[in-house]
Structure 1
């Protein structure tokens, strides 16, 4: 097995024949091998150079392999060291492991087992480095302790949060379902002067109309059947803090009138009550609807819309957040690996490519659910494409977007260039087939059920002739 990335190994043994044997054995595996004939020479080499792994005998003539192990660990605590010895005892093995050795291999050893031990040790070291790199990258791309993303659209939102957080102005957050509107609302609250006061979340689409007024403004005992005690409303509960009205577009016309009064006058009156209660709340609303159109259609009050939409924030869908799918996926892999106590450290490059090609109509929420399910189902420490289970109707949507562009049949009403669309799709399939075939036109033609003459014509037409 030749390794894509050349790892360096220092072999320490006082027997010349063993050094030469190990050098040949490991060089054939694709490793870059260095040799030291005794412990003191090994210590000098360790001080001058960095090695990915040290393979050292216990008995070296001058100093012991355990001393080599200790010095190597002093220089680099993460150094991978494997001890070998013809004089193995349980005591020596335990001592070596306690000193930080990765493993102890007795002589005579089986060549395959030794190669497997070395390969496994280096793989774990690589995975540890990747895990550390991933964690560092996630920290660099995490904003306000909870929002992840580096795309230009999200960068603009971070800047706006910083600008408006300290104000009392109402905010309207719009965007498709699953884009993280509540996280943005919470970030605004936590970076405001109200951060130590309540952050009250109200799902306007999850409360029946008959109970909405009571939930918003509270009620007094006996005001209606079942009102057996006074109840504080959510606006009063959010006093001096922030109230987040999610799915604001679901409010009935009657509740819109009552909400408008509360926003304008900063007073609320409990159902059945006679006294108005002064409240100081900042209102952050969110919707996946186009409220401007709702206003035009007459289903949402224009005056309430303007009161809530003082500062608008539009959250881009995940398909428009270039580069964020991979970062978010890594975050969710780390999150659910820890939660499920599984040692999954990354997604394969093919899995990432698969995710990047999918349009994610459910946005970040769908991605998180997908990764959670994949971590639960994965039997390896790397997420592979086959672990990414997406329903068939969604797979078809992804295939339609194989070129990286999304084609919407509804666009036909506005007029489309069909020849251009078909050329883009044809180009993508030709490029994929030629890539799989290693540039062999005859093989690529077989993949696409074309004649050699036809694929030559198509490659020339799309400018992909000679593609490898």
Structure 2
């Protein structure tokens, strides 16, 4: 903690008190010194008086926040300068404390500020890791079909266009949705994922639009839905074809009007969301059968991306299998290095009805159960019983 105060006795008291609480303390006697100290070394928190003769805490706050916006700064102020403290909050201070200090309040404020700072850093790292996970370089595929798909996704990402992703279950539609979001202008905003087939129809509206307290039995408090949670970012609706026609009408209204109402409420809420939808069905056939609205289809179908099944991109199987093997070997502390040629040939001959997800699960089971340094065909045979309609051998 950097303690900044031009009152030596007060600064000394704080150093003694905070050191006793287990904090490492650095001191500064005015705002300018605090700015210089913050440039030289990182601090978890700054505790700073607002009124100092040379450079005020308010001036130092503005300067520090300009180059280190994430650091929490707690302002100390006399009763007479509460208005100035409120101004400091507007400039980015975490909180303010009035003098003479209440030590219990001080301790609690410091702990909360530290927790807040830690949470922000964890969120930043999580966003970075998610961004890396959905980086194009981590979406493995050298087949022409995958290269074309990734090229198109990269072109679409910076736009605001609604995207419809089609493909069989397990092909990686969610990964493509993530690639689009994390390469868009919304990448620092939420990426919310929701499977429309994973919940009953009666709860679907509440999950998507939220509900007011008392809207139905068990609604003990207000809840924000997925659209509001994704405000400013992207909402990925998987298995969008599983929604009822009535729910499709409500989704269409949100897309057209960019507004919604919580279940049981009357307030009209504005939403700014980029919608990315996915389905494993042929929506044109669903429209013909009367199960999907044509107007919603055209709202979703601004850009369509098709993720090919694994059997149509056999050249990607060795890359994917080795990537999964390396990942799961590290996770399970195994020394497995790869596959025998016979084992790889077995992988290439399988039709993979479950696509990439099935391949990943098979490799994980193999890694967990194999005692050796390579996965051989005999081990895979136990995990992969023969299936009808096997894919033809890959070209050598």
TM-score by length of 2: 0.64
Residue in 2 that maps onto 1:225: 217
Count of aligned residue pairs for this structure pair: 262
TM-score by length of 1: 0.54
- Are 1:252 and 2:250 an aligned pair? no
Residue in 2 that maps onto 1:379: 371
Distance apart, 1:256 and its partner CA: 0.5
- Are 1:396 and 2:387 an aligned pair? yes
Q: Does structure 2 retain, via aligned residues, the 8 Å contact 1:217–1:233?
A: yes
Residue in 2 that maps onto 1:410: none
- Are 1:304 and 2:273 an aligned pair? no
Residue in 1 that maps onto 2:168: 176
- Are 1:266 and 2:232 an aligned pair? no
C-alpha RMSD of the superposition: 1.7
For 2:221 and 2:285, the matched residues in 1 are separated by 41
Q: Which of 350, 369, 377 is the matching residue for 2:361?
A: 369
For 2:269 and 2:291, the matched residues in 1 are separated by 29
CA displacement, residues 308-354 of structure 1 (integer Å, 9 cap, x when unaligned)? 11100000000001310000000011001000100111111111111
Distance apart, 1:378 and its partner CA: 1.1
CA displacement, residues 362-384 of structure 1 (integer Å, 9 cap, x when unaligned)? 10000001100111111110110
Residue in 2 that maps onto 1:343: 335
Q: If you compute each CA radius of gyration, which structure gives the higher value, 1 or 2?
A: 1
CA displacement, residues 5-59 of structure 1 (integer Å, 9 cap, x when unaligned)? xxxxxxxxxxxxxxxxxxxxxxxxxxxxxxxxxxxxxxxxxxxxxxxxxxxxxxx
For 2:291 and 2:239, the matched residues in 1 are separated by 14
Residue in 1 that maps onto 2:140: 148
Residue in 1 that maps onto 2:351: 359
Q: Which of 133, 139, 157 is the matching residue for 1:165?
A: 157
Residue in 2 that maps onto 1:284: 276
Distance apart, 1:241 and its partner CA: 0.2
Q: Which of 199, 204, 229 is the matching residue for 1:237?
A: 229
CA displacement, residues 407-449 of structure 1 (integer Å, 9 cap, x when unaligned)? xxxxxxxxxxxxxxxxxxxxxxxxxxxxxxxxxxxxxxxxxxx
Unaligned 5+ segments in structure 1 are 1-141, 406-468
Unaligned 5+ segments in structure 2 are 1-133
Q: Does structure 1 retain, via aligned residues, the 8 Å contact 2:165–2:279?
A: yes
Residue in 2 that maps onto 1:334: 326
For 2:135 and 2:260, the matched residues in 1 are separated by 35
For 1:390 and 1:273, the matched residues in 2 are separated by 56
Q: Does structure 2 retain, via aligned residues, the 8 Å contact 1:374–1:389?
A: no
SS in 1 for 2:192: strand
Distance apart, 1:214 and its partner CA: 0.7
Distance apart, 1:145 and its partner CA: 4.6
Runs of 4+ in structure 1 off by over 6 angstroms are none
CA displacement, residues 161-186 of structure 1 (integer Å, 9 cap, x when unaligned)? 11110111100000000000000000
Residue in 2 that maps onto 1:465: none
Q: Does structure 2 retain, via aligned residues, the 8 Å contact 1:370–1:389?
A: no
For 1:264 and 1:402, the matched residues in 2 are separated by 47
Distance apart, 1:146 and its partner CA: 3.1
Q: Which of 187, 191, 201 is the matching residue for 1:195?
A: 187
For 2:351 and 2:237, the matched residues in 1 are separated by 28
Aligned CA distance change for structure 1 residues 185 and 390 (closer, same or farther; 3 Å): farther
Q: Which protein, 1 or 2, shows the higher relative CO under an 8 Å CA cutoff with sep ≥ 6?
A: 2
